[in-house]
Amino acid sequence: MNTENGYSTFKRLVVDKLKVLEVGGTYSIKEGWLATYVDDVRDGRGVTFPLVCASYLSDSYETKAQNVDAIATRSIQVEAAIEIGDDVETVNHRMDTVRFDLMNALSHPNLTVTSCAFKMAKGGERFAGVQINLNITFNEKWGEYDY
For the chain, the domains span 6-141
Position 105 scores a pLDDT of 92
| Cβ pair 95, 129 in contact under 8 A | yes
- The region that residue 85 occupies, defined by phi over 0 for left and psi between -120 and 50 for alpha, beta otherwise, is left
Which parts of the chain register pLDDT below 70?
A: 1-4, 24-25, 64-67, 143-147
List, for residues 27-68, the tens digit of each pLDDT value. 888 888 888 887 787 787 877 888 899 999 998 888 766 667
Position 75 scores a pLDDT of 94
Backbone angles phi, psi at 20, to 5 degrees: -60, -30
Position 1 scores a pLDDT of 47
Backbone angles phi, psi at 17, to 5 degrees: -70, -35
Provide the whole-model pTM: 0.83
**Which class does domain 6-141 fall in?**
alpha beta
Q: How many CB atoms lie within 10 A of CB 127?
A: 21
